[in-house]
Structure 1
Amino acid sequence: MAQLIHELVERIAARAPSSTALRHGAGRVSYAGLAAAMTAVAAALAGSGAGRDDRVACCLAACPESVALLLGVSSAGCAFVPLDPQLAPAQLCAQLRHSGARVLVAGAVQAAALAAGLADCPALRSVVVLGEGAATGARKPGARRFGPRAVGWNDWLAGAGRAAPAAGMPVLGALLYDPRSAEPAASALSQRNLVAGAASSARCVGLGAGDRILAALPLHTDYGLNTLLATLSAGATAWLGAPGDSAGLAALLERGELTGLWAAPATWEALAGASFGRGADCLRFLVSAGGSPERGALDALRRALLRTRIHLMYDVGDACRSTCLMPSQLDERPGSIGRAMPYSDWLVLRADGRECAPGETGELVQRGPLVTLGYWNDPGRSGAAFRQLPPLPGLALALAENGRWPGAGARKDMDGYLYLVDARSDTITTGGYRVRAREVEKVVVGTGLVAEAAAVGVAHPVLGQVIAVLATARPGARLDSAILFGACRARLPQHMLPAMVDVRRAPLPRARDGQIDRALLAGELAPLFAEAAP
């Protein structure tokens, strides 16, 4: 069994070397070609002085080079740090500093934009530039705008020797940065997380070697990275370079060249009225990544794609791909977020650490190989969310197992289907978006109309959760729910708008630690959408 992600490709390359691993534009890369490319990248990294657990940042759109880099980083024993090329240079440089990346691989445009800020990244030793204008060195006059440490991609690969095997098993596999955070915040994933995550998704949707999967979600996101690795682990073909709009995606689907697709709920809502043409016969499955589309859109997809399995993957807090639900179960179990993904488990625990009985509400805890290492350079946040699980009876001397506490309450039915019942977590997952409660509260308080405010997640049968805002008026302010909602609508994007606003006369309830008791408020509001049509 593969233990490192590059071994997934090596196994397929040994068994079916001529099979197509990647499609990008008119080009194709075989599994043998991809294995050779990642070996060259690993050798170049070794030549750059990158060693076990060193971070290698990638600021590229999905392309064959970015995939070869991902796998070569693993082969060299390093950790992959995918960055969003669309971010502002200052934000990218902040993430580079925070990660302590030793090597940066970027497109020519991004490298030029970042050049001035890279002086503040003391750990960075090499900048590798891909694309036009990547010429470097005294022989090539384009070097200056990229800085003295820059080298072109082809020169970098050509100057490498033979790759030495990575010394020991790397601890770190990847750092994934949270785009919602104003300050750099990254989840740390181990190689075990990445390999098990690929196997989990591949098994969940039934990926096979004959599948052709569009990499529609960017590699700097958990879903995008997981989709690519799941595809490669199955020996299937990953189609890179997704169309930039729903019309282009619909045209690609109509041609019937894809057998599967992961996309955000908003994308499926945009495609709900599309004519799928040959895609209606060729699409074996689709995945709504991060929750369910709006119910009308979901029903339209089900009518148009009668032969296609639809998987709704839900997140719990920052834990992506936590559970999966088929739409037929959404009909039968309104409000459920499904069952745990393969090779993972979600426990519902009492305060004493024992498991709750079916139907009993308790603390939701994740266990298994999908539990990540924690938050990079943030021991306080990691300590709050990751801690040891109670030992199993009879195994008190076994090695302790870490679990993940996202700060959410839930109940589980007799068949293992989960239902969120409160919102102690700071993260609200609604319609595929993950929204920080404190970000909503900051905007609400910033209106100048309220004295205090709380944003909580309330279970919803289709959207997973919706946002509810509870507030008290600032002394002397004229305020009611309609006025406050209008102020929110003027300041918040659509996906962060509350579904309910309640202006209260009495102070908001407090927990023992003096903080607003969001769990109590969420419990009060739990029945609010229970009768909503599934």
Structure 2
Amino acid sequence: MTLPAHPLPPGVRWRTPFDLLARNARLYPNKLALIAASAMGGEARLSHAALAFAIDKAADALRGWGLRRGDHLAILMNNSAAAEYIVIAWGAMRLGAVVVPLNTRFALPELRAAVEDMDCRAIVHEAAFAETVAALDAGGERFGPRRIAVGPGGDWGAIYATGQPARGGFPVLGSDDLADILLTSGTTGRSKGVMLTHGNAVATGAAIAGGLDLGPQDTYQSPFPLFTSSGFHFNIMAAWWAGATMVVEPGVDLPATLARMTRERTTVYCAVPAVYIFMLDAYDPAQHDLSAMRVFDYGGAPMAREVIRRLADTFPQVELRQTYGLTEAGPSGTFLAGRDALRKLGSLGTPMPMCDVRVLRPDGSEAAPGEMGEIAMRGPAVSRGYYNRPEATAETFRDGWLWTGDLGQRDADGYLFYMDRGKDVIIRGGYNITSMEVENAIFEHPGVKEVAVVAIPHDRLGEDLCAFVVPQGDPPPAPADLQAFAAARIADYKVPRRWVFVPDLPRNPTGKILKNRLRERAQQDA
């Protein structure tokens, strides 16, 4: 089942990412487009003209290797090979092939399920994953010779050398052509493949660049893995739409991140909330010059209000922006501009360009201000559905809307506030409790570094609350102290009765806390 897409507005001249590449190569040929680690060691620094050339060269090389329009190409690589990742992925899409980025943190059964479910018959991988790919290949029945290894000892260098960009003759692609299938983060169950078109990618670039206020003068830095929608679409497409310089970090390493910001004169940085918590600990104004920084953007998970306050105090010259979106929406959605960061503390803001975001009741009618409902989206960045998953597509994409599964409400000014994932709402004795409001109250305690609240079964109340706390320092605060602290800020029925202290919280690659794992542990302990 594939749903009709909301088309790009007629006024958008660029219909595919390759239109953006060509435009940037023409307007900013010698300006840096990409700074990223190479699988061969060191760092690649490509101008807009050089990046467009490299992608066309990779496309011709892959064509000679045998890749064809409509082929599903899996990529199993980390940001440590980001330069090759981007060139190969868009080289494949230049041919009309469909790219399927694989989560490098998946276990072998998860990877096997992904390549089977997404019908991948070719794969490009870092040389370090050779044994994993051999196990996936099922004795040559799946990939056979259609395997390319990237890095020392791999064959990509020789294949790439055969590419002749001047040969041209690449397929004419339209905005409705399928570009990639991005796997959902897999916080529950088997990952689904989100089908995204070339038009979806362009619309995502317009939305995110607008939400971040990106322009060609910006240097945009982020650690999001390229196998996530945040790394693959959110970052890359926004930078290409804006003509900005994209700095892809090899991973999350705060001393290295701060040094890179200083060295590259980074102007916009985007990461999940947890990274900013660690940044506050690692930042030293005597060592790190962030005077060029103008925007910190946080997304991928809700940001605790206390962290927003601390960031505002520590970096008063930096605008704090919140973005919210889903893989199924490109990812695009809403943004909260810095001028509202404290005035609308905790809000997800208002829709990005080309995005329609509403709060709906179960019957599809719009919820009133202050009324909680399900957040829904539509627009040209929204996917047409899940690959080979008609039932899941019908459940999530209804009446022209993407139903996110997130609960929210709008205030009288139209600003959106995230309340919880629908499945994370805790019903204790008939009272509905959103985990986020409890977490915000506990997080204000000076002895708490991070906190996540989940439901546990209760024989009388139905459900009770369990708080997992990462303490700030040693010894950790006493549970009784935390209970009293929370009780002074939220209703008594919202205060957790069970407290578990942990060194860290389980997260997926985009930084979202895996509450399903915490629920499993809490239930086992109970």
Aligned match of 1:81 in 100, 103, 110?
Answer: 100
Taking only the aligned residue pairs, the percentage that are identical comes to: 26
- 2:360 is equivalent to residue 349 of structure 1: yes
1:205 and 2:212 aligned: yes
Shift of 1:23: 2.0
- Residue 228 of structure 2 is aligned with which of 221, 233, 237? 221
CA 1:53/1:307 → structure 2, altered by over 3 Å: closer, same or farther? farther
1:248 aligned onto 2:256? yes
Determine the C-alpha separation between the residues in 2 that align with 1:411 and 1:241.
35
Task: Note if contact 1:324-1:341 (Cα within 8 Å) is conserved in structure 2.
Answer: yes
Q: How many residues align?
A: 446
**1:69 alignment counterpart:** 88
Contact 1:97/1:120 (<8 A) preserved: no
2 CA distance for matches of 1:324 and 1:361? 19
Contact 1:100 1:124 in 2 (8 A): no
With the length of structure 2 as denominator, give the TM-score of the two structures.
0.74
* Gap regions ≥5 residues in structure 1: 135-151, 389-401, 429-436, 442-453, 502-534
Counterpart CA distance in 1 for 2:370 and 2:499 is 38
Deviation of 1:383 after TM superposition, in Å, equals: 0.8
- Quote the residue 2:404 is aligned against: 406
- Answer yes or no: is the 8 Å Cα contact 1:56–1:101 preserved in 2: yes
Matched letter for residue 16 of structure 1: Y
Q: 1:172 aligns with which of 173, 178, 182?
A: 178
* Change in 2 beyond 3 A, CA 1:219/1:70: same
How many angstroms apart in 2 are the aligned matches of 1:467 and 1:412? 23
Offset of residue 344 of structure 1: 0.4
**Following TM superposition, by how much is the alpha carbon of 1:353 offset from its aligned partner in structure 2, in angstroms?**
4.0
Alignment partner of 1:132 out of 149, 152, 158 = 152
Residue among 115, 118, 133 paired with 2:134: 115
Q: 1:40 aligns with which of 31, 52, 57?
A: 57
Determine if contact 1:364/1:408 at 8 Å carries over to the other structure.
Answer: yes
Local SS of the residue matching 2:342: helix
Deviation at 1:49, TM superposition (A): 3.8
Q: Given the superposition, is the C-alpha separation of residues 64 and 409 from structure 1 closer, same or farther in structure 2, using an over 3 Å criterion?
A: closer
Q: What is the correspondence of 1:222-241 to structure 2 with a 5 Å cutoff?
A: 222-225=229-232, 226-241=234-249
Partner of 1:336: 347
C-alpha offsets along residues 403-456 of structure 1, whole Å, 9 cap, x if unaligned?
111234443233221234565x34x5xxxxxxxx8xx99xxxxxxxxxxxx997
2:266 is aligned, of 258, 265, 284, to 258
Task: Report if the CA contact (8 A) 2:207-2:332 is conserved.
Answer: no
Q: Distance in 2 between matches of 1:191 and 1:121?
A: 31
Pair 1:16-2:28 in alignment: yes
**In 2, are the aligned partners of 1:293 and 1:462 still within 8 Å (CA)?**
no
Identify the residue that residue 153 of structure 1 maps to in structure 2: 156
Query: Aligned in 2, Cα 1:328/1:113: closer, same or farther, shift over 3 Å?
Result: same
Q: Which has the larger radius of gyration?
A: 1
1:350–1:245 distance in 2 versus 1, CA, 3 Å:
closer
Q: Which residue of 1 aligns with 2:15?
A: 3
Deviations 1:343-377 (A, max 9, x none): 10112335554434444444432111122122222
Contact 1:81 1:174 in 2 (8 A): yes
Shift of 1:202: 1.0
Give yes or no for contact 1:346–1:367 (8 Å, CA) kept in 2: yes
Task: Tell me how far apart the structure 2 counterparts of residues 493 and 266 of structure 1 sit (CA, whole Å).
Answer: 12
Change (3 A) 1:243 1:364: closer
Deviation string 1:303-344 (CA, Å, 9 cap, x unpaired) is 222221111123469655432224653533355322222210
- 2:414 aligned to which of 389, 413, 416: 416
Alignment match of 2:455 (pick from 456, 459, 469): 469
- In structure 2, what is the Cα distance between the partners aligned to 1:355 and 1:182? 30
Q: 1:366 to 1:289 in 2, by over 3 A?
A: same
Aligned counterpart in structure 2 of residue 271 of structure 1, from 262, 279, 292: 279
CA contact (8 A) 2:438 2:453 kept: no
Quote the Cα distance in structure 2 between the aligned partners of 1:304 and 1:492. 25
Partners in 2 of 1:328 and 1:97 — Cα distance? Answer: 47
The AA in structure 2 aligned to 1:132 is P
**Equivalent residue letter for 1:32:** A
1:92 and 1:362 mapped to 2: Cα distance? 35
What amino acid is the match of 2:296?
L
Aligned CA distance change for structure 1 residues 264 and 455 (closer, same or farther; 3 Å): farther
Change (3 A) 1:347 1:245: same
TM-score with structure 1 length normalisation? Answer: 0.73
The aligned amino acid for 1:193 is N
Once the two structures are TM-superposed, the CA of residue 59 in structure 1 deviates from its matched residue by 1.5
| Pairing 1:188–2:195 present | yes
Aligned partner of 1:460 among 427, 433, 437: 437
> What one-letter code is carried by the residue in structure 2 that aligns with 1:20?
L
Name the SS of the counterpart of 1:338 in structure 2.
Answer: strand
State which drifts further: 95-104 or 465-474. Answer: 465-474
Query: Does 1:485 pair with 2:498?
Result: yes
Deviation at 1:88, TM superposition (A): 3.3
Alpha-carbon contact 2:97-2:179 (below 8 Å) kept:
yes
Q: Supply the distance in 2 between the matched residues of 1:280 and 1:367 (Cα, whole angstroms).
A: 37
d(CA) in 2 for partners of 1:8, 1:462: 42
2: distance between equivalents of 1:489 and 1:473? 26
Cα distance in 1 for partners of 2:133, 2:299 equals: 31
Structure-2 residue corresponding to 1:287: 297
Q: Calculate the aligned-residue CA RMSD, in Å.
A: 3.9
Q: CA deviation digits over 1:11-64, x for unaligned, max 9?
A: 111222222112234542121111111112222333344333322222222322
Structure 2 vs 1, CA of residues 345 and 15 (structure 1 numbering), >3 Å: closer, same or farther? same
Residues 200-259 of structure 1: per-residue CA shift (max 9 Å, x gap): 111111212122222311111111122122112222212234354222222333446211
Partner letter of residue 43 of structure 1? D
Letter in 1 for 2:182: L
Q: Would the alpha carbon gap of residues 36 and 75 (structure 1) be closer, same or farther in structure 2, given more than 3 Å must change?
A: same
Farther off after superposition, 169-178 or 227-236:
169-178
Q: Match of 1:176, SS? A: strand
Conservation of the 8 A alpha-carbon contact between 2:150 and 2:156: yes
Structure-2 separation of matches of 1:369 and 1:461: 36
SS at match of 2:404: coil
